[in-house]
Amino acid sequence: MAERRLRVPPCLRPGDTLGVVAPSGPPARGPLKRGLRALERLGPFTLRLAPNVDARWGYLAGRDAERAAGIMAMMTDPGVRGILCARGGYGAGRLLEYLDFAAIRRHPKVFVGSSDVTILLLALLQRAGLVVFHGPMVAPDFGLLRSRRTRESVRALLLHPGRRYTLSAVGRWWGGRGPAPLRGPLTGGNLTLVAASLGTPDEIRTAGRVLFLEDVNEEPYRVDRMLWQLRAAGKLRGLRGLLYGEFTRCRPVRGRPSRPLAEVLEEYAAAANVPCFGPIPAGHRRDNVVLPLGGWVACRPEGAGRAHLTLGY
């Protein structure tokens, strides 16, 4: 069955109103306030917070229906031009059954998140048919890290009508293919959530695409298990390329037998048998550049241990 044509959101403009939603965990107030101030200056933008941003239901920012209502209100409000997530954590997958994806498709707008929000990004991409953006969130990124490269990617991809961002990344070419160009539609996100999507209505579609993966605080054996799961489910077959983001603090517990993380990543890059580069500056680190899921990426070798990336949509 042919997939629907993706809808591309309009670019943001200085003075636009942006919605801030909390689909997962509750943001800490200090980083949230700092992030809101930084985001206001970036456009400059006017910000509107979903009612549940300050809500608490254990480890969630309000009950599932509350969090979903905040997203639907922002998505369907014609005065809101774009939406950023306050933070990740856990819980975005719990609210998917409450979302009206047909209504969301009728109102395409910039939607940015990462980490636990990966499952929501995949649903918006695959069910609503929208280009969405894996990228910085208000509290952890704008509130704490304040990366120049991250801000540059926001301006280039979300505010500039050219909708293109180029960067040079330092890393390595993984697997047996060696340095080789790759290009294709982009999908992916946090490895834990990508693996968790399998067997659900939002199971990631990878064939004919470039797959991006990152994670945080996972021991190498857990990274191995999740990459094995993707391979066993056929998600590493038919790729156009593989991009590794940052695997932050993915190290073994002291004294516990382990394989090196690099060895694990190398094994699955070789299994995919496509050009693979990483890390690119995206994930749970200071730099978390915007990646257009449903858009495209081109990556070519640029000397030893470097790559030139172009992102667009």
Q: Which residues are catalytic?
A: 115, 214, 284
Query: Helix or strand or coil: residue 309?
Result: strand
- For residues 184 and 67, give the distance between their C-alpha atoms in angstroms, rounded to a whole number: 33
Say how far apart CA 182 and CA 159 lie, in whole Å: 26
The tokens of 69 are what? 């209502």
| 225 CB-near residues (< 8 Å, 6+ apart) | none
Cα torsion at 79, 83, 89, 91 (round to 10°)? Answer: 60
**Nearest partner of 119 among 83, 154, 94, 86, judged by Cα:** 94
- Specify the residue for token string 């919605």: 19
Question: In angstroms, rounded to a whole number, what is the distance separating the alpha carbons of residues 209 and 185?
Answer: 5
Contacts of 272 (CB under 8 A, 6+ apart): 175, 211, 231, 236, 237, 239, 242
Interacting residues of 167 by C-beta distance below 8 A, sequence separation 6+: 149, 153, 281, 289, 308, 309
- Going by C-beta distance under 8 Å and a sequence separation of 6 or more, which residues neighbour residue 129? 3, 4, 5, 6, 7, 105
